[in-house]
């Protein structure tokens, strides 16, 4: 995104160096050893722990917390990583407030759950800081598996397959591995280049090669992979972005929120990232919240999220919504974009209020406009160029519970596949589960 003559309101260096450093510091400070012990002591270590059921990767949460409580965080980390090899990232970005912590018995009894996410981060960070990889590859099987996409699903699948003794080649279109973890998460949630550190640590299992700059459909076809490998896993995520379908959305100053977040993530200097004075974000998910909050952190004066349904229908969690409003972001609901106005560059966005009833969303006829010199679209992503022969459902690759697609020898998981929430932790679970099924199929 550039500060072109058509967008004079979008500028860099809105804040002082100290403000940028403060705004993009670690969103939630890690626990030290004493704090972790105190937090772990609050756990009831339930036998039939509801937190385990609520975790998409089924981590034995009471066990790893007990291991922290008894002074063995490395053992706790192995308990976590055995189920979720990207437990370090998930500890930072997983919506624990709607998963394990919401199910915590302490939450039901006291309204204050055990800090499961922060304890998970303490354990995994402690182990990773030692450079230790707790798993060892099995004897080589002679089988080769292709994985498309080096995001959470692809990396989780690749690691589990490598651990089973298979050789894995990962094909990824981008110059860095990590997928959503590297390019799609708010910068303040994963400071210190943690995404790449986690990838480097994960690859220590051995048996995994990553080919960067190779995209499915452009550089390699599904048929090529089927011929050269014993199995294929597709975890390329969602590369397409939905359009607003509103007049004027092609004006200067209108951009995709995912591109803004990715650009900020890769920027060596946050101060060099230009931002508008009046920013409007259209959407109701985590991408919308991340784009809005980071616009504020970059120095935008007025930031507004506009969502077509009620606030209770936003896919961003209540915690994240509160975080946005706490950062100074305004949220307007029951409004849909009608037109983007401006002479070449956006100056206003026109919205129409919506009513929600049995027939769905219907316009009320009442309109309003918001001043804007920058607009971010965050209304969902789509599968870009699914390989021929694969059955789709709801715009995603149709899969069974084990990740099998309609094509023999091809599995899929993560955001590109049907059936799960678009969360890092869900993608990890689907990649892991598909790897187990691939292994069983190959060794049968």
Kindly report, residue by residue over 377-407, the tens digit of the pLDDT: 999 888 887 788 899 998 999 999 999 999 9
Averaged pLDDT, 241-254: 92
Could you tell me if 366 and 401 lie in one domain?
no
- Residue-wise pLDDT tens digits, 73-125: 999 999 999 999 999 999 999 999 999 999 999 999 999 999 999 999 999 99
Q: Based on the domain organization, do 283 and 314 belong to the same domain?
A: yes
Q: So what's the pLDDT on residue 2?
A: 40
Are 346 and 397 part of one and the same domain? no
Name the percent of the chain in helix, strand, coil, to the closest 5. 40, 20, 40
- For residue 73, what is the domain's CATH number? 1.10.1060.10
- Which of 340, 362, 377 represents a domain boundary (last residue)? 377
- What's the CA gap between 107 and 130, in Å, rounded? 33
Phi, psi of 349 (to 5 degrees): -125, 130
Please, are residues 264 and 20 in contact by the beta-carbon 8 Å criterion?
no
User: What pLDDT sits at residue 89?
Assistant: 97
Q: Residue 130's pLDDT is what? A: 95
State the residue range of the domain holding 350: 17-23+242-257+264-377
Whether 137 is in a domain gets the answer no
- Residues 272, 166 share a domain: no
Instruction: Check residue 3 and give its pLDDT.
Output: 40
Q: Which pLDDT band, with edges at 50, 70 and 90, does 420 fall under?
A: confident
Residues 248 and 222 grouped into a single domain:
no
What integer is the mean pLDDT of 360-389?
92
Say how far apart CA 172 and CA 153 lie, in whole Å: 12
Residues 182 and 125 placed together within one structural domain of the fold:
no
- pLDDT tier, 321 (very low <50, low <70, confident <90, very high otherwise): very high
Please compute the mean of the pLDDT values over residues 226-254 and round it to a whole number.
Answer: 93
Does some domain include residue 65?
A: yes
Q: Mean pLDDT throughout 211-237? A: 96
Instruction: Please check whether residues 339 and 393 belong to one and the same domain.
Output: no
Angle in degrees, 0-180, between the axes of helices 61-69 and 73-83, rounded to the nearest 10? 170
pLDDT for 158 beyond 70? yes
**Mean per-residue pLDDT for 178-193?**
94
In this predicted structure, the answer to whether residue 5 has a pLDDT above a threshold of 50 is no
Task: Determine, yes or no, domain membership for 340.
Answer: yes
Same domain, residue pair 323 and 272: yes
Which residues 6+ apart lie within 8 Å of 186 measured at CB?
Answer: 27, 261, 290, 293, 294
| Whether residues 175 and 108 fall in one domain | no
Instruction: Residue count of the chain, please give it.
Output: 444
Question: What does the pLDDT read at residue 422?
Answer: 82
For the stretch 188-218, pLDDT in tens is 999 989 999 999 999 999 999 999 999 999 9
- Residues 141-148: what's their mean pLDDT? 98
**pLDDT on residue 27:** 87
Residue 2 maps to a domain: no
Express as a percent the part of the chain with pLDDT over 90.
90
Per-residue pLDDT at 8? 77
> What pLDDT score does 231 carry?
98
- On whether residue 412 sits in a domain, the answer given is yes
396 inside domain? yes
Query: Cβ(92)–Cβ(121) under 8 Å?
Result: yes
Q: Is there a single domain that holds both residue 278 and residue 249? A: yes
Any idea which of 234-243, 319-328, 409-418 has the lowest mean pLDDT? 234-243
Asked, for residue 61, whether it belongs to a domain, the answer is yes
Structure confidence at residue 1 (pLDDT): 41
Are 235 and 414 within 8 A, CB to CB?
yes
Here the CATH number for the domain that contains residue 416 is 3.50.50.60
* Pair (108, 200) in one structural domain: no
User: 108-131 burial, b if ≥16 CB within 10 A, otherwise e?
Assistant: eeeeebbbbbbbbbbbbbbbbeee
Q: Which of 129, 158, 187 represents a domain boundary (last residue)?
A: 129
Last residue of a domain, one of 350, 377, 404: 377
Domains of the chain: total: 3
Both 321 and 291 in a single domain? yes
């Amino acid at each position: 995104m550039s500060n072109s003559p058509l967008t004079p309101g979008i500028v860099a260096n809105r804040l002082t160096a100290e403000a940028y450093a403060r705004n993009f510091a670690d969103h939630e400070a890690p626990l030290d050893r004493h704090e972790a012990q105190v937090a772990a002591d609050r756990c009831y270590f339930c036998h039939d722990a509801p937190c385990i059921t609520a975790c998409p990767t089924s981590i034995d949460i009471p066990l790893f917390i007990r291991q922290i409580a008894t002074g063995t965080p490395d053992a706790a980390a192995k308990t976590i990583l055995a189920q979720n090899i990207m437990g370090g990232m998930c500890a930072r970005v997983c919506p624990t407030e709607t998963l394990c912590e919401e199910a915590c018995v302490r939450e039901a009894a006291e309204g204050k759950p055990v800090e499961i996410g922060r304890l998970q981060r303490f354990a995994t960070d402690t182990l990773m800081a030692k450079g230790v990889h707790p798993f060892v590859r099995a004897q080589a099987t002679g089988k080769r598996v292709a994985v498309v996409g080096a995001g959470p699903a692809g990396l989780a699948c690749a690691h589990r397959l490598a651990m089973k003794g298979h050789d894995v080649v990962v094909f990824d279109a981008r110059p860095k591995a990590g997928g959503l973890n590297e390019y799609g998460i708010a910068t303040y949630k994963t400071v210190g280049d943690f995404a790449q550190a986690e990838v480097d640590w994960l690859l220590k299992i051995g048996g995994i090669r990553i080919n960067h700059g190779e995209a499915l459909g452009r550089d390699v076809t599904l048929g090529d992979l089927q011929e050269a490998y014993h199995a294929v896993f597709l975890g390329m995520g969602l590369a397409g972005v939905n359009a607003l379908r509103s007049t004027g959305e092609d004006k200067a100053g209108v951009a995709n929120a995912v591109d803004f977040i990715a650009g900020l993530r890769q920027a060596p200097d946050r101060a060099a990232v230009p931002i508008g004075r009046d920013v409007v974000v259209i959407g109701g998910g985590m991408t919308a919240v991340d784009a809005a909050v980071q616009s504020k952190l970059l120095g935008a004066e007025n930031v507004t999220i506009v969502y077509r349904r009620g606030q209770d229908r936003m896919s961003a969690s209540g915690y994240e919504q509160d975080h946005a409003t706490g950062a100074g972001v305004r949220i307007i609901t029951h409004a849909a974009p009608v037109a983007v106005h401006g002479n070449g560059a956006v100056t206003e966005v026109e919205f129409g209020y919506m009513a929600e009833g049995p027939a769905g969303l219907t316009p009320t006829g009442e309109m309003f406009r918001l001043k804007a010199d920058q607009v971010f679209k965050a209304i969902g992503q789509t599968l870009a160029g699914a390989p021929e022969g694969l059955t789709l459902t709801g715009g995603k690759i149709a899969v069974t519970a084990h990740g099998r697609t309609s094509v023999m020898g091809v599995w899929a998981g993560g955001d590109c596949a049907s059936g799960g929430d678009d969360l890092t932790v869900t993608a990890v679970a689907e990649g892991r589960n598909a790897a187990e099924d691939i292994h069983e199929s190959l060794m049968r």
